[in-house]
A and B are shown apart, each in its own frame.
Chain A
Amino acid sequence: MSISVPLKRRVLLVDGGSDAVDAARMQLVSALLERGHDVSCVRAERVVAGIEPPGQPVMIVGRFGGDAPVAPSPDVQFLDLDCVDPSSVLSAMEAAGNGPASDSAKPWKPWFPVIDYSRCTNCMQCLSFCLFDVYGVSADSKIQVQNQSNCKTDCPACSRVCPEVAIMFPKYRHGPINGDEVAAEDVRREAMKVDISALLGGDIYALLRDRSAKAKSRFSKERDDERALKERQNCLIALQRDLDVPAEVLAALPSADEIRLKSEAARARARQATENLLHWPAHRL
């Protein structure tokens, strides 16, 4: 499954062959890219010879001496730089009905996990861990990223629980989560983290719930609400620090009961997928 975004008008910027246009050309390319348009810089002879069917609406921008070719279909528009100043191309495009690609809403920051299948062992820890149904299982029981737009922006937590360092967030600050090469030290650190998690009795949410329960228990015994609150805060701070979870994501976490239900359901799906894979005919693997 992939996200659905309205198709934007692609721009073909035809080589002007003039210093004046060339100087402004890349500024225009940059401005168009910032607004979400694909831009292809092509030579004039390509346009004369005929542009291949674009497959999406296209605006052909170039110098046509005031005599731009006739558009073969409504999906193709021409903008003549001999009639429009390069600095006015964006407004001319918008005037021609090609509004800003991102409209008035803030564009979605494409933040979602990318799986390095050369490292992934299909252990399903990410599926069990993610509370937002980003992950799913393919028809042949392989882990997949299925709901990219469910992912919480700037939260790389699932990559932190991956024992194989197989999950990347290309827009993350640091390696190897950003896609930088994985060093042996990274793998050792992740393995250690998994061991600690196992020693602590299972997944991180179980840990969170247990600590929360202990805090509640102490609260009931000692009637010390400040201590209970502090315990919970410490737990959240540790979770946030260790997994680099943004505070907004922690604030948006479902209730403890909902977390339990979701993680049980995810674990069941992961178990089922693993069992399916074990029984999958070898020739299909």
Chain B
Amino acid sequence: MATPPRILYCHCAYARVVPPEVKTAVLERLGASQVELDAVPDLCEMAARGDARLRELASGAPLRIAACYPRAVRWLFAAAGAQLTEGTAQVFNMRTGSPEEIVEGLLRPCQTADATPPPSERKT
């Protein structure tokens, strides 16, 4: 059986660039789904600290990330010495995507993960 993807949610707590209503809706929908997830206050801050958890997250199971622009997320991980593996990490952009499409992407079963991604999603 395929390893279920790990879900990482970034709250972007120290800036107001992600619409609060999107963050709230994504969190509520994830809560309603009762899925396991890792939520962090701010990926930028973790990268600046060189947080070892970024390396642990990047090296483990397939990872789905709700955060901001995929290019920024990829290089934030890299700044902390963590390489997101191409094909196994997917980033969903809460700055541009709707809560519906973001949560749908985060919760999509692994078997269909290769389907055409919505505009807010890019594989790294």
Q: Which residues of A are at the interface with B, using a C-beta cutoff of 8 A?
A: 2-5, 15, 22, 25-26, 29-30, 33-43, 46, 55, 101, 107-112, 114-117, 145, 148-149, 168, 170-173, 175, 178-181
Task: Please measure, in the bound complex, the distance between the C-alpha atom of A101 and the C-alpha atom of B44, giving whole angstroms.
Answer: 16
Interface size on B, residues (CB 8 A): 43
Pair count A-B, CB < 8 A: 126
The chain B residue with its CB closest to the CB of A178 is: B69
The chain A residue with its CB closest to the CB of B73 is: A179
Are B17 and A173 touching (Cβ within 8 A)? yes
Q: How far is the CB of B78 from chain A (nearest CB, A)?
A: 7
Q: How far is the CB of A130 from chain B (nearest CB, A)?
A: 16
CB-defined contacts of A22 to chain B, threshold 8 Å: 31-32, 34
Contact partner, A41, options B39, B47, B79, B80, Cβ 8 Å:
B39
CB-defined contacts of A40 to chain B, threshold 8 Å: 36-39
Task: Please measure, in the bound complex, the distance between the C-alpha atom of A4 and the C-alpha atom of B50, giving whole angstroms.
Answer: 9
The chain B residue with its CB closest to the CB of A56 is: B53
The chain A residue with its CB closest to the CB of B80 is: A2
CB-defined contacts of B52 to chain A, threshold 8 Å: 55
Interface stretch of the complex, out of B7-15, B97-105, B109-117: B7-15
Task: Please measure, in the bound complex, the distance between the C-alpha atom of A42 and the C-alpha atom of B23, giving whole angstroms.
Answer: 20
Are B40 and A33 touching (Cβ within 8 A)? yes
- Give the contacts of B31-58 with A (CB-CB under 8 A): 31-32, 34-45, 47-50, 52-53
- Give the contacts of B55-85 with A (CB-CB under 8 A): 68-73, 75-76, 78-80
